A and B are shown apart, each in its own frame.
Chain A
């Protein structure tokens, strides 16, 4: 029984009742200032992908610098120097340092690229893509709603995001360049650094946080209020649950960072001392002329109070996407759906009380450190439960190996590596050695890069047919997959080794200052040649990764027009509601409000005998024989 192929007449009658929605919309209200969640989702998605690329380009520049410290960047170096060289990073009083010099990235430029790489990847790429783009597009469809609860607030949220992105991008081109104090913007450095780029960063963050807060309110209200009849809480696809918890994390965790951002802005603009301790020297021989009495640790607490839930915001939508794709491509229900939902809720709650594990080395007392260590260990349990349930969902599955499912399957071990390598960081005593080393970089990149990003790629390949009616090329998708998988591991696995050897983060010369070659009289602790040589390997991996992404970009754009057309609205033969609509879904999503009869993963149910191998959520009939009985009755 299909609700998707209603005859045109019904469609026409149905719409006469509505006062808005089907009047002719101008180009602007239809594509630019649209309140339709699908358009907004695509806007977020395209924007996020652009920034994903931009963040990647920044890190490629940095990796070049690390592998070949005093070599000009090939081809682009002289060009960038002309474009960028007239912006000079101020360095104290009157001394200036260029960002590009002779085609080489200077240390100041490296810092800027580093700070902005982190900011852009986290706040302008992954969160908008995972939460805002996929969430906006898919969640209303999956719960049977005609749109989000507050469509105009949704649009406002996108344009606030756009404004924040503009401010962040513009900050590169102002005198002094962009922010330099790391994506964490620690005071006192961030409060005293004279470049305006740091202020722009704060303003951009306030705009982005506002956008996320509006979006979070929208998501939660939509999921609570707009579920279609029959769509009970435990019939919702897991992806919707993941977005629900993510929205709560954003709602409750972002405001402290906004407050902290306002305070740091006041430190910079109004000379307050929220985060500046007494007697702080910025440069020169006299202490700064501020009141003092502030606490740099206050910034750290407020930042990481957001920072920890933020990393769950990065991973939960990804886990949601992977769940959908795994269930669909194994043709069996998820193992432990309710257990996974419970774990999700516990994870959400616990994520608020673990933040100081980012601050073990700040001199906190052992009582407090013990508390955070304990909660950090406890929070690993729900994460493991989620991963285990997903692994168990493969058992006895009839696995289809298409591009989305391969990305989703690869997510599992990659996220596993990322999670397991987090354990030494969660313990105070091992973190002593590993804090701020390359081990940390490897750990979080494993979770986010071959973790979240793979899931997001999977989502793009998976939902592309619903958005456009065409498939992306399977062959080139698999090339993209294998290339990304191999190069991701080449890039990040050696970083664990570098971290164990003690190589610190944020060193623009790739650790050369501390290498054995440059410190021949140091007997222990210097970085060995093998460790240093890994830099080149990693950089080559990074460039390889870049090449493979070109494949993806071309595939994406080419398939929009020329991809293989799907002949049905449900090419993956999925059960969830978004596949039971026309392709692409019209304004209002469903021709008539769907009624839900079953759970979200009714694949290969032996009691179901409809010849299809799956039972769509809104399909009132379970079996052919039932239908016959009804026909006779």
Chain B
């Protein structure tokens, strides 16, 4: 039993089956990403003043990734054209180029961009006194003006109606201090280096703790056992690897903004320079360098890395780029399949069918590129 119009186009529609199918699928994907984009717009418009940070994205990396994806888009069309011209070797050359570009995109995103964010922390304080205590440490006596300026750059670069602006009402304690955690001090006064998970020295208040659920003690009826302090009890030797449940009295912190030097006055130059911080990250310091400060736990209201839980901006950012990256990964897997030896046999048996498969893959790939074309300005630039 043959399904008609598998390779041949149907005269009145001009489509073969696969092409009709992929365009329909792309329509649904447009709705999927459209919903996420509209969620972004809604959340952005509705955000409380002082909660939506701008200028935290590294735009140069984003632009590089954009150019890579554009190149991969062009190369996959070239691959298809080669097949139409019966040039097998040309096809393979361009297809490999596409795969390499796509892979580079993922490598940049998943091994540089995201991990860099997971190791960078924001600290907000419990009271104005605790905030000013820490800030004096870092910024010196005239800290409040400098910090406010830095904060203004981050949360309201356009400075609309500054006098009336409620941003002016945001207190110092809620203006986050950002930087890296390099160690902590426990209740016995012993200093420890920051633990690493999966080789990455990230130590989030939210992300890692989910994995400790299996180490929580349970009652007979499978409910969680709570201790006298109202917190879950952990099995012997296991801890929740987060700030809240470790025995921490103070953290050793390397602030970024002390070296945060913005060349331009406006948002968008998100190249946070933490030259000294980068140098220090991963090693514990207690004396001498002068770039670390110690923040007592009781002074900290909220500690969070730039992870999804940090703010709705990051939540949306990770969801959008994460879903996009999964589509890129899917595309890479399909393209690798087309580069396997078996594809030569399919091509030889039925060149039209194979060419059509590449065309369909190309259509999917261009859609992925289209999403990024809109993602880049919205997330990185605006």
Contacts and interface: CB of A to CB of B under 8 A. Distances in A.
Q: Do chains A and B touch in the complex (CB under 8 A)?
A: yes
B309 A271 contact: yes
Contact of B24 (A216, A260, A301, A302): A216
A221 B1 contact: no
Contacts of A251: 24, 27-28, 31
B111 interface: no
B109 to A, nearest CB: 18
Interface residues of B, number: 53
Contacts of A151: 3
Interface string A253-275: 11110111011001001111110
A88 B310 CA distance: 32
B224 interface: yes
Contact of B21 (A149, A269, A273): A149
A293 B312 contact: yes
A217 B210 CA distance: 37
A551 interface: no
Given A146-B1, A151-B3, A225 B309 contact: no
B39 A271 contact: no
Nearest to A233: B12
B230 A225 contact: no
A588 B1 contact: yes
B269 interface: no
Interface string B1-21: 111110000100101010011
Given A147-B1, A224-B13, A295-B43, A290 B223 contact: no
A291 interface: yes
A627 B340 CA distance: 59
B24 A291 contact: no
A175 interface: yes
Contacts of A298: 39, 42-43
B222 A175 contact: yes
Interface stretch (B45-53, B99-107, B126-134, B351-359): B45-53
B46 A292 contact: no
A402 interface: no
Nearest to B42: A298
Contacts of A21: 1
Contacts of A88: 221-223
Contacts, number: 165
Q: Pick the most buried of B13, B312, B316: most chain A CB atoms within 10 A of its CB.
A: B312
Contacts of B48: 278, 292-293
A271 B304 CA distance: 11
A92 to B, nearest CB: 11
A289 B205 CA distance: 10
**Residue among B28, B42, B304 with most chain A CB within 10 A:** B28
A291 B1 contact: no
A271 B27 contact: no
B350 to A, nearest CB: 12
A94 B224 contact: yes
Given A258-B32, A259-B35, A270-B309, A293 B47 contact: yes
B31 A255 contact: yes
B10 A273 contact: no
A93 B226 contact: yes
Contacts of B47: 293
A18 B3 contact: no
B28 A213 contact: yes
A294 B34 CA distance: 18
Given A149-B21, A221-B21, A255 B35 contact: yes
B157 interface: no
B223 A291 contact: no
Contacts of B315: 263, 266, 270, 272-274, 291, 294
A96 B31 contact: no
B302 interface: yes
B39 A274 contact: yes
B96 interface: no
Interface in B291-329: 302, 304, 307-312, 315-316, 319, 323
Given A150-B21, A263-B315, A274-B312, 8 more contacts: A90-B223, A217-B25, A225-B20, A256-B34, A270-B207, A289-B205, A293-B312, A301-B42
Interface of A: 18, 20-22, 86, 88, 90, 93-94, 96, 146-147, 149-151, 153, 175, 213, 216-218, 220-221, 224-226, 251-256, 258-260, 262-263, 266, 269-274, 278, 289-295, 298, 301-302, 305, 587-588
